Structure 1
């Protein structure tokens, strides 16, 4: 599932490509016909993200709300020459076409039109987003410090902090030498503050570079990444491989439906 930095990159890209101009919106797949018609030809006033949720606010008060989920993706194509616009391929839920670019949305968990006032209802269900300049971590800390759930589970709870996915969760805990199974009530205020500050910085790098970069330069060597083209990680998807710092084999188990990875020595 795309993590928060991906949605913020998309929001910025869509603002550049389609913002402040009329946009043609359709649904080749047919599952978003009414929603597309509600915004087709309208001016896209603002594109922005909160956690893993993307919002396109159109002139007239309607907003397209997208959550990519596990399989959702946007693909872009040139649209300056109307004769060269490609036919939709596959199950395209929503197609947007501007003056120079177009984009196709496939496989989202959510693609709906809501009133502008309903944006607040979506956001009310989410925790603070580290990538938003007005983010206040206090509500997240208040919930963590009262919870007996493992910190590894709490960090993935979008109602506590919005935008963290499995890579940032595992890597953040490793960088701060915190056992993912330690209860929230045992996390100190200084530890939380340090993690939040680090998370903000890491996710900003993700927005800027389009990649999750978490390994410190002095540790960025040895075994390659878990996937070609991806930066190295400390623990994510490295089960059984030696820790980059202490050489202890990385472990993994399922925690509330998702695999958690950790070094039993560095994070003891």
Structure 2
């Protein structure tokens, strides 16, 4: 399942390539035909993510709400953002656009005159996969496309989401009100206080609370295992028994990892790597995590074999020596 960093990067893709564009909305598969008709022809005015959920706003007062779930993915094609540009903040992008649109000393818009960017294709879900450039635009829909968003320069095809619905502003507010704090949405103090206050009221094990999107937004199976190990915290500890300072540090670490994930497009959860080790970790998931997916292998710190157990239907990885 895509975790919080992936959904923020997808929202950034929409912000950069669709916002301020009139969008043709359709449902090639047919299952979202009624919803598509409500949005078709409107201009996208905003794109934002909260945890694992994304909200696209249109100028007719309606929003497209998408939760990718386990199998959902967006396929983008056309003049789209790639690489590090999907991690840039809106402030930085706005400044960059202003600079690019300013003429140089000779009155020439040098950045704009380089030529149109290549029309390419990328799939964005739990992981991002760049594909070949496209020869014609727009490309034909491939497979079971629930909804297609088509602007004059880019196309986004959604497949296999858990949720895809049209909401008004009140519906968006209601959906967001059910979600816990997101470090990239809430202010640091407000988000930290909400998280600590909620956890301290519950007897539920912290290993389950971190996966509860009403407690904190965006954390999935990988970040859950890695955050608990980095905190040297037993996943079975009831929330109300975790010291307040430990919870504050946990939320601060989540903020750090989420920002890193948005920047890199990968869940890099190991610190203290050499330049060569870091490069290796970027190429291989097996080299970028402390405990996730390492059951039966020695802990990278103490050498005890990492264990895996089922917790509320999901696999939980942890070190029985370092996390007790």
**Fold match (TM-score > 0.5):** yes
Match of 2:312 in 1: 256
TM-fit CA distance, 1:121: 0.5
Match of 1:106 in 2: 159
Are residue 188 (structure 1) and residue 243 (structure 2) matched? yes
Match of 1:203 in 2: 258
Aligned length: 266
- Most deviating of 54-63 and 126-135: 126-135
TM-fit CA distance, 1:229: 5.4
Are residue 247 (structure 1) and residue 300 (structure 2) matched? no
Match of 1:118 in 2: 171
TM-fit CA distance, 1:228: 4.1
Aligned-partner SS, 2:8: helix
TM-score by length of 1: 0.93
Match of 2:289 in 1: 233
- How well do the aligned residues superpose, as a CA RMSD in angstroms? 2.1
Contact kept? 1:212, 1:231, Cα under 8 Å: no
TM-score by length of 2: 0.78
Separation in 2, partners of 1:262, 1:229: 17
Match of 2:65 in 1: 65
Contact kept? 1:215, 1:233, Cα under 8 Å: yes
Structure 1, unmatched stretches of 5+, are none
- Most deviating of 211-220 and 78-87: 78-87
Structure 2, unmatched stretches of 5+, are 80-118, 120-133
Aligned-partner SS, 2:20: coil
Alignment of 1:115-194 (within 5 A): 115-134=168-187, 136-194=191-249
**Residue 55 and residue 82 in structure 1: after superposition, are their counterparts in 2 closer, same or farther (change >3 A)?**
farther
Match of 2:19 in 1: 19
TM-fit CA distance, 1:244: 0.8
Contact kept? 1:17, 1:101, Cα under 8 Å: yes
Separation in 2, partners of 1:261, 1:43: 45
**Residue 109 and residue 184 in structure 1: after superposition, are their counterparts in 2 closer, same or farther (change >3 A)?**
same
Separation in 1, partners of 2:285, 2:179: 31
Separation in 1, partners of 2:200, 2:220: 20
- Most deviating of 246-255 and 133-142: 133-142
Aligned-partner SS, 1:238: coil
Separation in 1, partners of 2:286, 2:152: 33
Which one has the largest radius of gyration?
2
User: Which digits, 9 at most, give the CA deviation of each residue in 1:146-165, with x for residues without a partner?
Assistant: 21111000100000001110
